[in-house]
Structure 1
């Protein structure tokens, strides 16, 4: 394996929270040295031209269409999109058809991912069989088969006794549960956040309290069982005090938020633009700003894309009937950099939420700019402007809310274990 010597780089360290010029040596797929004054003999020298070199993004909560919806996204297309977006590790959701609820199904997606994707891929498995909320999945066997966490996604387990049993068993094995804080009764049929905008548009809305109520229930069960818990998306200011109390009380709880809820608000739905139909729905601007502040303070730990590919047929429908979700692998970094350019987050804190924290929460090696860490790296220009054309995205589905948006921040190259898997200009 070729030794690489990156010089004239702007090194972004999310662990030490530093942003400084330096050099970096990669050998045998790992970071071998920092700030070496000269390249080792025979090394390939890479001039970074003063651009940023950071740990590759670890994206927690990606939907892939295999099995069951390969026409929407395959491991190959998702892997190419991830590499182009500076994402070096994907954590996939089990909401496939059929769901990933058995060791055999997990073995299938492991095999497909290993053969088709140029980036690292780890998989979550379902918490209950068929995501039906009635019977616990084979958590122990799925852990042995490589599952990194357990979730039913947006199929909230409504039977509290079943969820308590799942949490108790998961705690005995040290397994991580990923919850979707939402009261399903209040949110059923809703497509936007309730308020003046929803009323003016004649769209069924859901109160932000549905998220708060779902989160409060989950926190009570975490306190009762001692389970490890991660909230996939916290999107409302009213949920933050409960999250703060849970952490202050010593519960093993973390939380994430999607980049869409950090950079868009409910008014972006505009004239029923279905690419902006997400779950949870986009929130008012006050909630968006509260989420940005929570990420900056570290109260919310993780920024993710919640990549959810949908084909044209399912999105080109009246707003109420359109499928929910948006693709985000290739736009995650550029969209997140809106927070940097707005002065809300510096780059080390941004990559703490994009790379270091998700890797730590899942017990993975990535997300570090340190000697011995895997050489999963992204080289990017944070100031390069461009207008996004959704048809240039490498994902099979093109349902991005950033179509036609002006963004800043281009990925120049992506490396996985020291191998370059993307370079600007690649088709």
Structure 2
């Protein structure tokens, strides 16, 4: 029997306490004494959260292992405090069959650092025309419940309607990349506005996102099914979601750390690290996103971790690949922009980064309260620790990190996945009592 005693952690809603973990399960919480064989982790001053869960991650394997692998992405996730991540389907081959989903599941289990949960494609080959094997993926060992063509919008309203109808009986959810390609245009690479015109960069307007969100919430109401809005980026989208929820429509939404913290003015240097889809938006959109997350209109934080090899990212801005890293820095960014200003407390962080993502994704062993009987998926946070981000020290295989050189306050100290420390910032943190 393996056992771990976490000493003196600040638990949500109570005073500091000890947490005893045995064989991957929390056995006791209180003032506890370790036995001779128990490993001890000193958590004095640390906040204990249920392990973080990310609904939106690109791990690139199979097909683009030069940018990321399930192993390197899992290591980056553990370093960021995550105990489960949902791996998007836009790989090569696409995760549009039960066999492909089970392969992703097995590669994740072989690493063992986090639960890697496959996301199934909505349409075959992400081509938007014919539904993928939704039912077979749902009934496979992978038990796929989240489906997405992320990277592409399910543009055809009829296809989207059929997908929503199909996934309803087994409790699935469609995570939509909301971007009307006819409004955005194939050359668009940033937010459409005064700055894009001044820089000579093709832009796409917020309405390209908002119109698809409006359509999809109406389809969700018509079908009685579930839709999830990926990476919300505009104030208009927040208003559409707020309206839909007031109508009782089953819609959820996510926002990324970078859309909560970075603005379109960063593009003045044409640095391709800031090229992301959807694009960085103006300050007024960022403020609306923060307010929407704080008041519950936006349900969760998800990173949209999008690693790219240097030869894909280091180009002129218009030619560079879309996307940026996010797993290792997500919690610190949320601490900086949401907790420190008083928009969220740590209990709310647990809700938007663990409990609610687990519920949306259908995970029963993640996002659970830290109490006896719960699986020991735990994130320990040092709320006062300052970290200056160095992209070269990332555990990801890629280096397209928008936070390089920035100092963030509030950092992951240790991650415990199913009772085992999967990451710690201190190599001396573990000891065995004599």
TM-score, with normalisation over the residues of structure 2? Answer: 0.93
Contact 2:98 2:136 in 1 (8 A): yes
Partner of 1:260: 258
Partner of 1:293: 291
More deviation, 184-193/129-138: 184-193
Partner of 2:196: 198
Contact 2:145 2:171 in 1 (8 A): no
Per-residue deviation, residues 271-293 of structure 1 (Å, max 9, x unmatched):
11111111100011111111111
- Are 1:406 and 2:407 matched, yes or no? yes
Contact 2:221 2:250 in 1 (8 A): no
* Secondary structure at the counterpart of residue 220 of structure 1: helix
Query: d(CA) in 2 for partners of 1:22 and 1:132?
Result: 52
More deviation, 378-387/395-404: 378-387
Distance 1:112 1:59, change over 3 A: same
Alignment of structure 1 residues 366-381 onto 2, 5 Å: 366-368=366-368, 369-381=370-382
Per-residue deviation, residues 253-277 of structure 1 (Å, max 9, x unmatched):
1100111101111112231111111
Distance 1:264 1:132, change over 3 A: same
- Are 1:346 and 2:349 matched, yes or no? no
Report the Cα offset of residue 218 of structure 1.
0.7
* Secondary structure at the counterpart of residue 343 of structure 1: coil
* Secondary structure at the counterpart of residue 270 of structure 1: helix
Partner of 1:394: 395
Contact 1:78 1:117 in 2 (8 A): no
Report the Cα offset of residue 19 of structure 1.
6.3
Partner of 2:319: 321
Unmatched tracts of structure 1, length 5 or more = none
* Secondary structure at the counterpart of residue 83 of structure 1: helix
* Secondary structure at the counterpart of residue 261 of structure 1: helix
Query: d(CA) in 2 for partners of 1:233 and 1:192?
Result: 15
Report the Cα offset of residue 295 of structure 1.
0.8
Query: d(CA) in 2 for partners of 1:423 and 1:324?
Result: 31
Partner of 2:58: 63
Query: d(CA) in 2 for partners of 1:313 and 1:117?
Result: 30
Query: d(CA) in 2 for partners of 1:415 and 1:163?
Result: 38
Per-residue deviation, residues 79-138 of structure 1 (Å, max 9, x unmatched):
111111111111110000111001121122122221134211111100010011111111
Query: d(CA) in 2 for partners of 1:43 and 1:346?
Result: 32
Report the Cα offset of residue 47 of structure 1.
2.1
Report the Cα offset of residue 42 of structure 1.
4.9
Query: d(CA) in 2 for partners of 1:419 and 1:78?
Result: 18
CA RMSD of aligned residues (A): 1.7
From 123, 134, 144, the equivalent of 2:118 is 123
- Are 1:424 and 2:421 matched, yes or no? no
* Secondary structure at the counterpart of residue 61 of structure 1: strand
- Are 1:334 and 2:335 matched, yes or no? no
Query: d(CA) in 2 for partners of 1:33 and 1:293?
Result: 37
Query: d(CA) in 2 for partners of 1:400 and 1:341?
Result: 23
Query: d(CA) in 1 for partners of 2:208 and 2:171?
Result: 29
From 241, 244, 256, the equivalent of 1:243 is 241
Report the Cα offset of residue 344 of structure 1.
2.3
From 225, 228, 248, the equivalent of 1:227 is 225
Partner of 2:156: 159
Report the Cα offset of residue 233 of structure 1.
1.6
Partner of 1:96: 91
Distance 1:83 1:193, change over 3 A: same
From 78, 83, 106, the equivalent of 2:101 is 106
Query: d(CA) in 1 for partners of 2:427 and 2:130?
Result: 46
Contact 1:122 1:148 in 2 (8 A): no
Alignment of structure 1 residues 12-51 onto 2, 5 Å: 13=12, 18=13, 20-39=15-34, 42-51=37-46
More deviation, 65-74/185-194: 185-194
TM-score, with normalisation over the residues of structure 1? Answer: 0.95
Contact 1:25 1:36 in 2 (8 A): no
